[in-house]
Amino acid sequence: MMKPQHGGMAGHGGGRTRSPFLTSYALTLAFITFVSVLYFKDFSSTLHQPFLTRPPPHRRQIARPRAPSHHHGGGSSSGGGDVVPPFAVGAAAAAGCDVGVGEWVYDEAARPWYEEEECPYIQPQLTCQAHGRPDTAYQHWRWQPRGCSLPSFNATLMLEMLRGKRMMFVGDSLNRGQYVSLVCLLHRSIPESSKSMETFDSLTVFRAKNYNATIEFYWAPFLAESNSDDAVVHRIADRIVRGTALEKHARFWKGADILVFNSYLWWMTGQKMKILQGSFEDKSKDIVEMETEEAYGMVLNAVVKWVENNMNPRNSRVFFITMSPTHTRSKDWGDDSDGNCYNQTTPIRDLSYWGPGTSKGLMRVIGEVFSTSKVPVGIVNITQLSEYRKDAHTQIYKKQWNPLTPEQIANPKSYADCTHWCLPGLQDTWNELLYSKLFFP
């Protein structure tokens, strides 16, 4: 705020008359000051209010309109008219902009948000530079929606919104990668003495002590109880889900202010899924097989019921992250080299691309189930934009679970990880989408 000037032109010397121009200027300045005080008072109070089902009107618009980009041609957001899921994909859909439709723009000035070596929380399975990846281009791509722009991620604003709250990611290793990405996006804004990270079996807790906030990850790859629930030893080929039993896991979710679920990769075992009737402790196990889509919907419906019974939409938020694509066959995107994601350094340019490893059927189930929830569940659609990023996987540049064989070493593509993603990288964009949903529902 400008301080009033005494003497001179302001006319404090006795007997001098005020200039009409200066009088008008003073009144205008006073009006601007009054409006500014009201605005910042309202903005400050908004940060500390409970979560609202709708944001204040002056924060409704997510993006500045921009001319549609046709640089790489057209294309459906789902690789064909019959596969668009029945839910709004982007946070700006209500404003006529779907942030899930756009293109990747190379941007060395604005990306990455952080450096791999300065974030100590990235697990060695995702530190690609530390494990010898020769290129860094995968870190510099920025997602540009067609017709609008994503809001710029603001770590301080995010931390203020989390003050006094628990935010929890629940799901598999891909959800854990997004969790770590968010911690890396925030941690530089927290003093070193005021942050910590601890793991307790399936639960990992990052504390921002000066904000009295926690950001947590809970391992539950099927969301329901399964034989893959051990946080360390869970590589089980014969996967079994215990029906709709959530209690084992959900007791850890209670009390969270923000829940971010995902579950997909572990369901991809074929057309059928084994469902346990009863308990894993029973000597005689009654196991039935269900169509994967039916079993997936059954568990997601159980999650919806739990959310409705345990989450208050007035002071809590719930999100579901859609499917994370894989890139295991280069022929799928028109490369006849019989390769995979190994040595890929640029995104796919075909905006209609939809890989065969991403189930359109399960995508529909996600939309159908969560659209019925009495408590709003924000769908964060990371699938289509991630389909293009064949270059962003960890490939061979990660800590290996087991020693490599001479045959693998001789043929690197044979052990390339085309499922998980390097950090920094693509999953930072997932958190930009989540951020936009948090602040601009």
Count CB-CB contacts under 10 A for residue 10: 13
* 3 state DSSP class of 266: helix
Active site residue 71: no
Structure tokens at 177: 């990668």
Phi–psi pair at 128, nearest 5 degrees: -70, -40
Q: What angle do CA 300, 274, 377 make, to 5 degrees?
A: 5
Instruction: Indicate which residue of 98, 257, 391, 417 is catalytic.
Output: 417
More confident residue, 69 or 392: 392
More confident residue, 340 or 441: 340
Instruction: Indicate which residue of 228, 420, 428, 436 is catalytic.
Output: 420
Contact status, residue 365 vs residue 296, Cβ threshold 8 Å: yes
pLDDT of residue 27: 52
Contact status, residue 350 vs residue 334, Cβ threshold 8 Å: yes
More confident residue, 34 or 239: 239
Going by C-beta distance under 8 Å and a sequence separation of 6 or more, which residues neighbour residue 234? Answer: 219, 221, 228
Count CA atoms closer than 13 A to 351's CA, side-chain side.
18
Best CA proximity match to 424, nearest among 132, 119, 191, 175: 119
Structure tokens at 178: 């997004």
Active site residue 417: yes
Going by C-beta distance under 8 Å and a sequence separation of 6 or more, which residues neighbour residue 167? Answer: 213, 214, 215, 216, 256, 257, 258, 260
The Cα–Cα gap between 12 and 15 comes to 9
Count CA atoms closer than 13 A to 354's CA, side-chain side.
19
Identity at 215, one-letter amino acid code: I
pLDDT classification of 64: cutoffs 50, 70, 90: very low
pLDDT classification of 34: cutoffs 50, 70, 90: very low
Query: Does residue 92 register a pLDDT over 50?
Result: no
Which fold does the domain 86-439 belong to in CATH? Rossmann fold (3.40.50)
Instruction: Indicate which residue of 173, 228, 263, 359 is catalytic.
Output: 173
Active site residue 202: no
